[in-house]
Chains A and B, each alone.
Chain A
Amino acid sequence: MSTAVADVVVEDALPADEPGGRRANLAANLVQLARKPVFLLAGLYVLFVVVSAFRPKLFTAQDPYETHPEAAAQAPGVHHLFGTDIYGRDLWTRVLYGSPLTIKATLIALAIALVAGLGLGIVAGFFGGIVDAVLMRGIDVLLAIPGLLLALSIVTALGYGTVPVAVAVGVAIVPGFARTTRAEVLRVKTLPYVEAARAGGASWGRVLLRHILPNSWGPVAVLAVLDAGVAIIAIASLSFLGFGAAPPAAEWGTLIADGRNYLVTAWWLSLLPGLFVALLVLGLNHISKTLQELTR
């Protein structure tokens, strides 16, 4: 075997008296992240939306279902941040109360995709051969069906609700996770430290859990953040198309769809909830991009 290149530009070793190790690394990374203002903004916004999904009362004192016919279709102002709809309900409150289903379904969908995708990817990449071929052809079939179409048919079959929507969207994003994980496992599997662990007497299970999984994890985590945005759009699309909660319940997609009829007279009805969702997805994309740069 030819020798490895002798002079790869290596950063010098840390002096012995400087702090090192995991904690110092984590601290350094956090400091680096904190220096990125756009990342901070995006992070705070995403955090705000997630908190509001579980505790909407923290950010609004009004009731999402209470109608005030005298205050119908008011433009955004100090009293009504996002304005009011044609029944006089506060739109800001309705947007906030509309997030639980989307956010919870997104989290469940991601959990499904992560578990199934990681599992399939690791098994396929690790065992290779026939197992790999069979699993990956299955994934190929899933990839061939457009995600939203697949989600639509699953929701039609299972009915509407947090869990069916989560399952529908989760299944649609499994292939991406499986592919990414498999590629990473294939790369990590051949590295000398895996062989070193084997030579040290470690069992395959241990090698898989302690070496291969943690080292394949990075790109998958980035993909998870990115796919959270995809899932949110998919769920909003489903409710926009009418597969949403029944009125009068608020839902991002339903809010946008309802406002369509009054676009000329009351533009804020569709635009502001739409912007709210778009910003959330943009924020998630930015976070995932920043994390990707950091792991590189």
Chain B
Amino acid sequence: MIVDIKGLDVGYLRHRRVQPAVAGLDLTVAPAEVVAIVGESGSGKTTTANAIIGLLPANGRITAGSAVVDGIETAGANERTLRRLRGSVVGLIPQDPMVGLNPTKRVGAQIAEAVRLRGGSPDEVFEHLAEAGVPDPELRARQYPHELSGGLRQRVLIAIALAGKPKLIIADEPTSALDVTVQKRILDHLGGLVREQGISLLIITHDLAVAADRADRIVVMQNGRKIEEGDPATILGTPRETYTRRLIAAVPRLAPRFDVRDQKPPEPILTLTDVSKTFAVSDLRRGARGFNALDKVSVTVPRGQTHALVGESGCGKTTTLRIALGLETATSGSVKLDGDEIVGRSWNRLRPLRRKAQLVHQDPFATLDPKFTIAQSITEPLVSFRIGNRRTRLERARELLDQVALPASYLDRLPSELSGGQRQRVAIARALALRPDLIMLDEPVSALDVLVQEQILQLLADLQAALGLSYLFVSHDLGVVAELAHTVSVMSHGRVVEQGPVAEVFTDPKSAYTRELIDAIPGRRVADAV
């Protein structure tokens, strides 16, 4: 056994009390085995991984049990013992490729560091880069992290992990910050490498679909405990726990919920016609986006329905949304919101239209002012438009919280006291405050766990049915689009490559790019098993 954990208890010291994060965990990883730990945030999966290599935060404590890695006890081991394990026995691929590399050092030098610690020759750097699937390794090794895309950075991190020739690689949410297509390529590659070289792999993920596609064994964790374990076929076919069943049910099926192929589309509420956007190249901050500005994008959102914009990072979908909202100006083209032209309007002349269209941001942790109570956040649009008085606004806030299924006691909470899903509900309530006809959703669920994701999507669908809302929905995740959207535009490099009802585009994609996106979605095994 490479990893043999018995009865492990880990807790975090907070206000002089140890709050348990992992309780009584048993876990083994055999040589050349791929094991996936699946669970929500807060289920203790990342804590487990950190405990294995002794990288718990300063307030983390192992209170009981043992964690033997390659024959060496790591629970309570000193720093020197642990250092000998890291790199040479256990390699770690961190969560976020954007911050996982040192921005002031060339990529090659960072890999060389790992090679040197093992005592290898510097030439191996190129070898490892090539192994990790980085094209043109000699060129890439001389580049700095900011010159590489997210996918390439993730590959460099894999190369660093491989450079130590470890017996076990721990991949902590290896791809949750990446697009589906990139995600698929990287996971395929990592899986292949591990099998070739006989390395064990421990994948930590919140996405059962990702785990089911690659792992030999799946461990499901909830509230710090292991609740179920088994090979993917058993877990998917005959899950014992209700929690596992819920996880399986939450995997997007790619089965479109709405079929509007044979219906006459309702009146459009928002029409974008031939919208182009060129960013000034001299602008240092926006320079990188210069080449993927929009090129004659036309999009229509039918009233009372959802239109989705899908594509990889940098394809221009968020820019389209910002132009439609008037937060960014278009270089040419026209944007009509409920019959009124937006392009060319000054901020003050645009302001009345704000009551018709509202925005929900991607990141629930930054979209609420940390100093505002929930009531203040929700009623802010009302205050801005001088609607009602203090009492009626509070009344409306209560009503809105009820609509997004949060208790009224949350009114005087601060955002830091809410979970990610709850904050996103508050953001939705704020968008609803002015009773808009159209809500623009910018990746509203991509930062959330699968289960929370499902609840938020359900909420959005319910609100649409109850209030007759229209959505313009931006996402990189086709599974989510299938759950919510009636029609879809697939975007690539600032152009719309395919457009039509979701049921048509997803079952019979016309363009090669759409087909690639659909094939990249994880969860084949789940879909087959159910």
Summarize A's interface: helix, strand, loop or mixed: loop
Per-position binary interface string of chain B over residues 300-341, scored 1 when its CB falls under 8 Å from any chain A CB and 0 otherwise: 000000000000011000100000010100000000000000
Interface check B368, CB cutoff 8 A: yes
Determine the chain B residues whose CB is within 8 A of the CB of A9 once the complex forms. Answer: 41, 46
Interface check B354, CB cutoff 8 A: yes
Given A195-B327, A197-B380, A199-B358, decide whether A8 and B365 contact each other with a Cβ distance below 8 A.
Answer: yes
Determine the chain B residues whose CB is within 8 A of the CB of A23 once the complex forms. Answer: 412
Determine whether the beta carbon of A193 is less than 8 Å from that of B369: yes
Determine whether the beta carbon of A20 is less than 8 Å from that of B417: yes
Interface check A191, CB cutoff 8 A: yes
A203 CA / B172 CA spacing, docked (Å): 42
Interface check A265, CB cutoff 8 A: no
Determine whether the beta carbon of A13 is less than 8 Å from that of B362: no
Determine the chain A residues whose CB is within 8 A of the CB of B449 once the complex forms. Answer: 6
B415: min CB distance to chain A, Å: 9
Among B42, B327, B442, residue most surrounded by chain A Cβ atoms (within 10 Å): B42
Determine the chain A residues whose CB is within 8 A of the CB of B442 once the complex forms. Answer: 1
Given A9-B46, A192-B366, decide whether A2 and B413 contact each other with a Cβ distance below 8 A.
Answer: no
Determine whether the beta carbon of B206 is less than 8 Å from that of A25: no
Determine the chain A residues whose CB is within 8 A of the CB of B363 once the complex forms. Answer: 4, 192
Give B345-370 interface residues, CB cut-off 8 Å to A: 351, 354-355, 358-359, 361-363, 365-370
Determine whether the beta carbon of A198 is less than 8 Å from that of B327: yes
Instruction: Out of B42, B362, B414, name the residue touching A25 (CB < 8 Å).
Output: B414
Give B134-151 interface residues, CB cut-off 8 Å to A: 150
Determine the chain A residues whose CB is within 8 A of the CB of B370 once the complex forms. Answer: 215
Interface check B78, CB cutoff 8 A: no
Determine whether the beta carbon of A2 is less than 8 Å from that of B95: no
Determine whether the beta carbon of A195 is less than 8 Å from that of B447: no
A191 CA / B365 CA spacing, docked (Å): 10
A128: min CB distance to chain B, Å: 11
Determine the chain B residues whose CB is within 8 A of the CB of A25 once the complex forms. Answer: 414
What is the total number of residues of chain A having a CB less than 8 Å from a CB of chain B? Answer: 39
Instruction: Out of A1, A32, A197, A199, name the residue touching B325 (CB < 8 Å).
Output: A199
Interface check B419, CB cutoff 8 A: yes
Interface check A21, CB cutoff 8 A: yes
B495: min CB distance to chain A, Å: 18
B385: min CB distance to chain A, Å: 5
| CB nearest neighbor in B for A213 | B371
Give B410-439 interface residues, CB cut-off 8 Å to A: 410, 412-414, 416-420, 422, 427, 430, 433-434
Interface check A5, CB cutoff 8 A: yes
| CB nearest neighbor in B for A8 | B365
Determine the chain A residues whose CB is within 8 A of the CB of B233 once the complex forms. Answer: none
A12 CA / B414 CA spacing, docked (Å): 14
Given A2-B98, A202-B380, decide whether A193 and B173 contact each other with a Cβ distance below 8 A.
Answer: no
Determine whether the beta carbon of A3 is less than 8 Å from that of B446: yes
Given A7-B173, A9-B46, A10-B42, decide whether A200 and B381 contact each other with a Cβ distance below 8 A.
Answer: yes
Interface check B231, CB cutoff 8 A: no
Determine the chain B residues whose CB is within 8 A of the CB of A144 once the complex forms. Answer: none
Given A20-B414, A195-B327, A197-B369, decide whether A12 and B42 contact each other with a Cβ distance below 8 A.
Answer: yes
Interface check A27, CB cutoff 8 A: no
A215 CA / B369 CA spacing, docked (Å): 8
Instruction: Out of A13, A192, A201, name the residue touching B361 (CB < 8 Å).
Output: A192
Per-position binary interface string of chain B over residues 486-525, scored 1 when its CB falls under 8 Å from any chain A CB and 0 otherwise: 0000000000000000000000000000000000000000
Among A4, A5, A10, A16, residue most surrounded by chain B Cβ atoms (within 10 Å): A4
23 A-B residue pairings within 8 Å (CB atoms): A1-B442, A3-B446, A3-B476, A4-B446, A5-B173, A6-B447, A9-B41, A10-B365, A11-B416, A12-B42, A20-B417, A25-B414, A197-B369, A198-B327, A199-B354, A199-B358, A201-B355, A201-B381, A201-B384, A201-B385, A202-B380, A214-B371, A215-B369
The 4 closest A-B CB pairs, nearest first, are: A13-B419, A200-B381, A21-B412, A3-B446
Q: A1-B313, A215-B369 are in contact. List 9 more A-B contacts (CB 8 A).
A: A1-B443, A3-B447, A5-B96, A13-B419, A16-B409, A195-B361, A201-B351, A210-B369, A215-B371
